[in-house]
Amino acid sequence: MIKAGTRYVTPTGAELIVTKGGEGVLSDGEVHLQEKGSGAGFDNGYVPGDDVQTVNLGRRYQSPDGAVTVLVTKAGQCDLRYNGEAMEVQQPRKLPSSD
């Protein structure tokens, strides 16, 4: 279970916070993300693949079905996935003009 407000860290040091939770698993490729401060480390032999993207500070990512949304609080290299499917950058909402 992924709860809104939970902070996660990736094996490469990127950090994110869940803004919309749901059932499932967040991972960096095949490696499950750890809750920040949990003390459960990662395998020191982890090496990100060549096709790994950079998750940028302040960007929101959502699962393909829209069930889970996360906000990046520390940028880094990550193959961000939800239940094995790549998460997509959420496009900013258009605001009405203030004319």
In a domain, 94, yes or no: no
State phi, psi for 51 to the nearest 5 degrees: -95, 15
What is the rounded CA–CA span in Å between residue 60 and residue 38? 23
What is the rounded CA–CA span in Å between residue 23 and residue 38? 20
* Residue 69 DSSP symbol: E
pLDDT tens per residue, range 22-81? 899 998 888 888 888 776 666 655 555 666 788 999 999 999 998 999 999 999 988 899
Q: Is 63 helix (H, G, I), strand (E, B) or coil?
A: coil
In which domain, by residue range, is 38 found? 7-89
In a domain, 98, yes or no: no
What is the rounded CA–CA span in Å between residue 60 and residue 87? 10
pLDDT tens per residue, range 8-17? 998 888 899 9
In a domain, 99, yes or no: no
In a domain, 97, yes or no: no
Structural domain total, the chain: 1
Helices (H), the chain: none
- Highest-scoring range by mean pLDDT, 16-20, 31-35, 89-93: 16-20
Structure tokens at 64: 């393909």
Say if residue 85's pLDDT is above 90: yes
In a domain, 80, yes or no: yes
Q: According to the model, what pLDDT value does residue 89 have?
A: 93
In a domain, 23, yes or no: yes
Q: According to the model, what pLDDT value does residue 83 have?
A: 92
Q: Read off the pLDDT band of 96 (50, 70, 90).
A: confident
In a domain, 96, yes or no: no
In a domain, 1, yes or no: no
